[in-house]
Amino acid sequence: MRGDSIGRSAPTTIVVPTIGRTSLVTLVEALTHQSRRVDAKVILVDDTAHGFSRDLRSRLTDVAVATQLLTSGGRGPAAARNVGWRHARTPWVSFLDDDVVPPSEWYADLLDDLADAGPEVAGSQGAVQVPLPRDRRPTDWERSTAGLEGAPWITADLSYRRSALAAVGGFDERFPRAYREDSELGLRVTATAGRIEWGRRRVLHPVRPADGWVSVRRQAGNIDDALMRRLHGRDWRARAQVPQGRLRLHALTAAAAATAAAAGATGNARVAGPAALAWAGLTGEFAAARVRPGPRDRAEIGRMAATSVVIPFVAVACAVLGRLRHRNATRWCGAPDLVLLDRDGTLVHDVPYNADPDAVAVLDGVRESLDRLRDNGIRIGVVTNQSGVGRGLITPQQLEAVNRRIDDLLGPFDVWCQCLHAPEDGCSCRKPQPQLVLDACARLDVDPHRAVVVGDIGSDVEAAVAAGATGVLVPTAATRPAEVAAAAPRVRSDLPSVVDDLLGGRW
């Protein structure tokens, strides 16, 4: 792996979620052999529970592109992509899947596509080409993969403005599979941030090996379709340009089978017979529709016959499960872009007008909480009133020494903003005034509406609200009951519980 300096001048960061497939090495090697040198950082996010294997790490070492290896803890490709783009600091973020192969001209074409994108363009999509066998008809699985060609908004090769991702909160992590999470994001982006246009670049997407039951497992996507319907209404397929599918026919098939079974169990032959014939006819039509365009060899016919019997029942069960699981789902907001924290009483024990670095004591759970935010690419900062300087009780040098100690114990922080005035100075920066929050957001180019302020007294929450940010109160023994009542329902017992909410998009 090479250092970070190579990616500083590029307009984009390349993000690749992976589950440790060896195809990742092929992808990275393809990036090292581009006609134009890849000067963008490549962030590889491992989404397995154990992280990058030692063998894969060694194979990714010394590649001729600047790579950064991150992990997302097995939470799915949506979460992995969110971890990746939040670590990016470039105007654009370019997503690739770990099983695509960029031709040698891909990076040059990507830069041209991004340069041509006007301010009204929020995303730029590359074409996907699926190589199919030339000596025979494609199998059902191969045809399914080939369906990626021409599909809009798929992240096999898709670049978004980072600002557009931040504005909508990124990918919805309630989509745990590589299915619909890209279409769902596309709906939100095109509704609020701008259009997504096709670029000139292309990638190859080879067909992955799969067993004969892959089509059955893919019916879990009906759970995600239920979430899409809950979030975007009944017409979501038309707006996302997604084919209708066969769920209604699957429901009819399953209902016919259930009716035949129930009637047969009660000895009602007049109902059981026609229902069984209906089931057989629908199942046969489904199997024939899948066999007809394929190679029609014995193995493929056997797979289609067996899976066509099972798929309708699995599809309906998953659809029902999805309706139940997501019946109360609301629009995803994602994690915030910036978390600003008060210093005394929130990060460290409150020692009034502390001038001694040795007196700094970190509160329980703070270090781990900050590290979780950093690991997810969320920037953090400190906004603090330090009136001891304005009152002449401590010197600026003493304050700086205490802050350095906090930085040593808990840092690094992306920004520090402090008010050094006494209360009677009537300044515009002392909390509950919003200026510290606004200054911190401005320094990091973050919309205050995508920022959260965490503190232990009411003025912290009031400053957040005045700035257009979200305030969260973590009370201590010094917090007045009236402040707790005023901050409800955004009151949490400790910082770890705040971070749980933020990473879950609940803020």
The full set of domains in the chain, from first to last, is 4-210 (3.90.550.10), 211-331 (no CATH), 338-503 (3.40.50.1000)
Backbone angles phi, psi at 252, to 5 degrees: -65, -40
The reply to whether 55 belongs to the active site is no
| 3-state secondary structure at position 326 | coil
Give CA torsion, residues 496, 498, 499, 504, to 10 deg.
Answer: 130
Q: What gap in Å lies between CA 495 and CA 473, rounded to an integer?
A: 10
62, burial (CB in 10 Å: exposed 0-12, middle 13-18, buried 19+)? exposed
What pLDDT, on a 0 to 100 scale, did the predictor assign at position 3?
43
Q: Are 111 and 36 in contact (CB under 8 A)?
A: yes
What pLDDT, on a 0 to 100 scale, did the predictor assign at position 8?
53
Catalytic residue among 113, 157, 342, 414: 342
456, burial (CB in 10 Å: exposed 0-12, middle 13-18, buried 19+)? buried
What pLDDT, on a 0 to 100 scale, did the predictor assign at position 2?
44
Nearest-10 crossing angle of helices 495-503, 366-375: 20
The reply to whether 99 belongs to the active site is no
pTM of the model: 0.93
Backbone CA torsion sign across 24, 26, 69, 110 = negative
Token pair recorded at residue 377: 């690419």
Q: Are 249 and 180 in contact (CB under 8 A)?
A: no
What residues in the chain have per-residue pLDDT under 50? Answer: 1-7
What pLDDT, on a 0 to 100 scale, did the predictor assign at position 58?
80
Backbone CA torsion sign across 438, 440, 444, 446 = negative
What pLDDT, on a 0 to 100 scale, did the predictor assign at position 5?
42
Q: What gap in Å lies between CA 13 and CA 63, rounded to an integer?
A: 16
Closest Cα to residue 60, out of 100, 93, 20, 7?
A: 20
Q: Are 345 and 456 in contact (CB under 8 A)?
A: yes
- Do strands 470-473 and 338-341 pair parallel, antiparallel, or not at all (unpaired)? unpaired
Q: Are 45 and 70 in contact (CB under 8 A)?
A: yes
